[in-house]
């Protein structure tokens, strides 16, 4: 077999091997998608909560240089 034939055969084998490899520790591909979606959602919720916390902290901070403080 020539190098390009080996590369072509390897390229054809990648999808089934990757699907079989994704089934790690007995967890199916559909479950990995569910876990990844849950993790992504939690990261996004954490980002929004942090953003709101910073925003509220800035709103509560006394305004510097206002006429009432003088």
Q: Which has more pLDDT, 49 or 1?
A: 49
Query: How many structural domains compose the chain?
Result: 1
6 CB-side CA count, 13 A: 3
Q: Is residue 57 part of a domain?
A: yes
Q: Is residue 12 part of a domain?
A: no
Q: Is residue 55 part of a domain?
A: yes
Q: Is residue 49 part of a domain?
A: yes
* Contact residues for 29 (Cβ-Cβ < 8 A; gap 6+): 19, 22, 23
- pLDDT of 13 over the 60 cut: yes
Domain of residue 42, residue span: 25-61
pLDDT in tens, 17-67: 666 666 666 778 788 889 889 999 999 999 999 999 999 999 988 765 555
CA 55 to each of CA 48, 59, 65: distance values in angstroms, whole numbers, following the listed order: 10, 6, 20
- Whether this prediction's pTM lies above 0.75 is answered by no
- Which pLDDT belongs to residue 32? 80
Q: Is residue 53 part of a domain?
A: yes
Query: Six-digit token pair at 24?
Result: 């790690």
Q: Is residue 11 part of a domain?
A: no
Mean local confidence (pLDDT), 4-27: 68
Q: How many residues does the chain have?
A: 70
Q: Is residue 14 part of a domain?
A: no
């Amino acid at each position: 077999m020539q190098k390009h034939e080996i590369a072509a055969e390897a390229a054809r084998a990648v999808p089934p091997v990757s699907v079989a490899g994704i089934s790690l520790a007995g967890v199916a591909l559909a479950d990995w998608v569910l876990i990844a979606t849950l993790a992504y959602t939690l990261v996004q919720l954490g980002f929004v909560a942090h953003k709101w916390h910073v925003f509220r902290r800035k709103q509560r901070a006394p305004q510097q240089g206002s006429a009432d403080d003088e």
